[in-house]
Amino acid sequence: MWAVASPNDLAYPTLDAALATHLEDIEGGTQPLSHKLTNALLGGKPARRLIVRWPAVGLSPARVEEYVVTFRSVRSGQVLYTLGLSVPDTDHARWAPVFAEFVATWEELP
């Protein structure tokens, strides 16, 4: 589980464009088994949530990744906030409520 704030240097025009990078294969040719994209809130801001299920590859077990992203405008441009979770599929049921609480209670500092 992690949280990252980074400048929108790649100039993603939308949250969906930012999330699309998480559908790209990091395993070299592997396609996700499924993905679900929904609206969300993060720190009171409109956000997008992506849940991706990946198959087992080689010695790596099947896994589930969740991402919640939002933009924040600052004087120098935009900041992209990303909260994420990556766990083996067998552990997702245990960690999903923890991640949901992380997202629900996340606050943006001034």
Is the Cβ–Cβ distance between 44 and 105 less than 8 Å? no
Q: Which pTM value belongs to this model?
A: 0.86
Q: How far apart are CA 87 and CA 61, in angstroms?
A: 9
Tokens, residue 29: 């040719």
> Has residue 7 been placed in a domain?
yes
Tokens, residue 84: 């994420």
What is the residue whose two structure tokens read 């943006």? 108
User: CATH number for the domain including 52?
Assistant: 3.40.1000.10
Question: CA torsion sign, 103 to 108 to 67 to 94?
Answer: negative
> Has residue 69 been placed in a domain?
yes
pLDDT tens-digit series, residues 28-57:
667 888 999 999 999 889 999 999 999 998
Query: How many domains does one find in the chain?
Result: 1
> Has residue 97 been placed in a domain?
no
By residue count, the chain amounts to 110
pLDDT tens-digit series, residues 5-14:
888 877 888 8
Q: How far apart are CA 104 and CA 95, in angstroms?
A: 14
